[in-house]
Structure 1
């Protein structure tokens, strides 16, 4: 079963945003294959996720929102620095909106949760966060914030008396930190920049419009209907007007895009605009 190359996936993810007739003409002009069959995409997910070497934290969260134990076990390998998400996966904590209780934990989960921090044992959830005096201590304490009830407790505690800066920072870069909890932690440009560096985005739309390089984002988007089916439309809706304006039914512009995408260092909007301008 043939799997499309990285470039073919990337361009194909954008071709899906125009009408079928235009897409077919572009494929004929550029030699691009037909869209990858669902079975081929599913097979790709069972292999090494070479595209996920730099998996943004928020993309990992959107995948976890499927509450699919098998997918969770795969994502585990790519979130080695996020003890909180790993702990939640190991305990069967659901990530899907509105889901309660616990979900099964895949028996192939390649590891176990990190050791419970001593400060948590001694002081509890809020107490351990208030004891934080370094980034390492902040990450350790934040790793015990797992459920929606935990996040609510943390938000209420911070509202009564602000948590230490390191604790706030460790909590804010957790992709599952609710917006209402994160909002009081900061909103200035430097704070937002730090979130981006940590791979935290407000939505799939923000991710595809700002993250780079473009080919890495488009490779993720190409599998979005499998990886995060409930959120992928947000990303597509953000890109669709841009694609139609700058590429549209111009076959030459699509050909330029296919030539540029593999080595282009900018984000997706910059790639689309550049290809349209060159053509």
Structure 2
């Protein structure tokens, strides 16, 4: 197998879905090093990792771990989203059912984004209702930080729909409650904007519908460190496909390893193609 760390990690993620004996045999066959799952190795990968653009929901899965160190990783790779940055530096927990404040990493203390002038004058709902552009929408939405803020925005929208740009800015936040996002409507353009932002139903959707496969599987290979609570859903979605198309067939795995670096399709398409070729 060619020396490509992302491709190696991607193949390794799929090999973890078969039994240990098959995994060891296939690794010898394709020349893939054994995995180093030590915490030190995983943290080193994170420190060196340069993420391409990733779905916004993936960043939320990392935040749900409520780990100060992981929050710094998200901070480095977060697109322009002052609302989430504000939540991180205020210690807001993202994990389901959690209420205890999250310690703020020393490097992030005191880095809260500026408070928008409209919020100072009009408070939260007033600022959202005054929105007339996407820039204003992002600024106002950045003050929706904790659960009561989201509830206040939802109540205001039910009373009288918020401006379109305000709805848009709220809906593309990965931490926007799904019920609120659904309440904003299902117009084709609105749905497209949400999809463009990378709002996913869950890890299974990312594992099976996004591409290229090497990038997707490479990120999932870091899931034990980045988002362990969410990783099982991705594994469960891919495991039957791996068993059906690759199983313990060394030749099929060898084809998969050869295709991985240049394959542009999804992981299911890659697995099926490798199995068919072999």
TM-score class normalised by the smaller sequence: over 0.9
Cα–Cα, structure 1 residues 164 and 108, in superposed 2: closer, same or farther, change >3 Å?
Answer: same
> 2:42 is matched with which residue?
41
1:4–1:36 Cα contact (<8 Å) kept:
no
> 2:205 is matched with which residue?
206
Aligned to 1:55, the other structure's residue is in SS state coil
* Paired residues for 1:1-279 under 5 Å: 5-38=5-38, 39-45=40-46, 47-50=47-50, 52-109=51-108, 112-279=111-278
Distance in 2 of aligned mates of 1:40 and 1:243:
26
- Per-residue CA shift, 1:240-267, capped at 9, x if unaligned? 1111112222211111111111111122
1:188, distance to aligned residue in structure 2 (A): 4.7
Distance in 2 of aligned mates of 1:136 and 1:232:
34
Instruction: Work out which structure has the larger RCO, using CA pairs closer than 8 Å and 6 or more positions apart in sequence.
Output: 2
Distance in 1 of aligned mates of 2:96 and 2:170:
19
When structure 1 is superposed on structure 2, of 55-64 and 176-185 the one drifting more is 55-64
1:126, distance to aligned residue in structure 2 (A): 1.3
Cα–Cα, structure 1 residues 194 and 252, in superposed 2: closer, same or farther, change >3 Å?
Answer: farther
Cα–Cα, structure 1 residues 269 and 120, in superposed 2: closer, same or farther, change >3 Å?
Answer: same
1:117, distance to aligned residue in structure 2 (A): 0.9
1:5, distance to aligned residue in structure 2 (A): 2.0
Aligned to 1:193, the other structure's residue is in SS state helix
Distance in 2 of aligned mates of 1:18 and 1:190:
41
Distance in 2 of aligned mates of 1:190 and 1:111:
38
Distance in 2 of aligned mates of 1:23 and 1:190:
45
Distance in 1 of aligned mates of 2:73 and 2:110:
11
1:276, distance to aligned residue in structure 2 (A): 1.7
- Per-residue CA shift, 1:4-43, capped at 9, x if unaligned? 9222111010111112222122112211121223232232
Distance in 2 of aligned mates of 1:277 and 1:186:
42
Cα–Cα, structure 1 residues 193 and 141, in superposed 2: closer, same or farther, change >3 Å?
Answer: same
2:4–2:261 Cα contact (<8 Å) kept:
no
Aligned to 1:92, the other structure's residue is in SS state coil
Task: Give the unaligned 5+ runs of structure 2.
Answer: none
Aligned-residue CA RMSD (Å): 1.8
1:4–1:33 Cα contact (<8 Å) kept:
no
Normalising by structure 1, what TM-score?
0.93
Distance in 2 of aligned mates of 1:134 and 1:8:
45
Task: Give the unaligned 5+ runs of structure 1.
Answer: none
Aligned to 1:12, the other structure's residue is in SS state helix
| Residue correspondences, number | 275
Cα–Cα, structure 1 residues 7 and 185, in superposed 2: closer, same or farther, change >3 Å?
Answer: same
Distance in 2 of aligned mates of 1:111 and 1:49:
25
When structure 1 is superposed on structure 2, of 203-212 and 9-18 the one drifting more is 203-212
